[in-house]
Amino acid sequence: MRNLGLAFLFTILLHQCFFRPHGGVEATGAGFIQTRGPHFVLNGDLFYANGFNAYWLMYVAADPTQRSKVSAAFREARSHDLTVARTWAFSDGGYRALQYAPGAYNQDMFQGLDFVVAEARRYGMKLILSFANNYDSFGGKKQYVNWARAQGGGGGLASDDDFFTHPLVRTYYKNHIRTVLNRQNTFTGIRYKDDPTIMAWELMNEPRCTSDSSGRTIQMAWFVKSIDRNHLLEVGTDFVANNRVSGIDFATVHSYPDQWLSNSNDESQLSFMNNWLDAHIQDAQYVLRKPILIAEFGKSWKDRDQLFNAVYYKIYASAKRGGAAAGGLFWQLLTEGMDSFRDGYEVVLGQSSSTGDLIARQSHKLYQVRKIFGRMRNQERWRKARAARKGQWQSGSRNGRKGVGN
């Protein structure tokens, strides 16, 4: 009966909310994001992540003349009440690399990442920073393996999967993690591991180890947590075996049904995605007992709003029931004057009014869920405090009556 009562109260409060399309959600503010069961928590209240991917932020910010694009992206995101951005803290080897050789860093690129973190802080947004890439873009695990081969560590380096097991490669990777965690931001003076602007670290973007289908090989959680106990950590993939590891704080999934079922029609793709998301949200809640973030989702511009609506509905439906779905990050946000970064999945908020309205409405709906649960939590605290005071009064009254007869 108590749960039914809370559900009824939630429904009443929800219908009292006024969903403004823009500007109704406050900035995230200070404090580290934590987890409590299958939920994110910020300063004691539930937190839901509605945000975006922008892999390009460091790359663009490395050129001081282009930093206005980073500022514009954050400004436009906040105008649509977005709260979280996911981006790369890696670029290994090749053109404009962050790490151009093992342990050797391009400080212009690092200062670009410093600027990204500082701007996110200024606009009241949280960041998810990824340490490495599964794919060859921006170096990836292949670059680490090639570095080890070039250093004479080629023994046993048969494939890119050796990234996960070869001692020299793992040393390179751990050194990069350590360098990023201990980086002192040149704009704010705050070490990354101490900065609450960063919501979470990601071990790798979409890691795959084909030689170990169990997923157990893809782990470095213990190492990250040995240096940084402040921040959340996620794997970057949806293997249940990986996400069960105690050092992994939340699960993630990526969803691109138009790529996975490219020969199917939109209806079939949406049906598959809905069932797929349901299964993963249920696994997160009842098997993992951790929050789940749809860390990438998107579709080419055709019928994109239909997919955004479907993903957002799944997140909201779970959130309003107190479920494990904790938010979603679309791929990808661009701003004006970035045509060379277009990949067919881009969202330019100034050019996509219908998609922008969907995004802003989702932000506000999740914010209202957070506020309603916070109100219910305060009411529960008030009831408990009142019951405790009543118990103390009754106990004192009984003790007083006993004293009268002495």
> Which residues are known catalytic residues?
206, 296
Query: What span, in angstroms and rounded, lies between the C-alpha atoms of 406 and 403?
Result: 6
Triad 23, 27, 30: Cα angle to 5°: 170
- The span from the CA of 247 to the CA of 234, in Å, is 9
Helices (H) and strands (E) in the chain, counts: 12, 15
CB 54 within 8 A of CB 85: yes
Nearest to 293 by CA among 348, 349, 235: 235
d(CA 337, CA 7): 47
195 contacts 121 by C-beta, under 8 angstroms? yes
DSSP state of 27: -
> What is the distance between the alpha carbons of residues 196 and 403, in angstroms, rounded to a whole number?
55
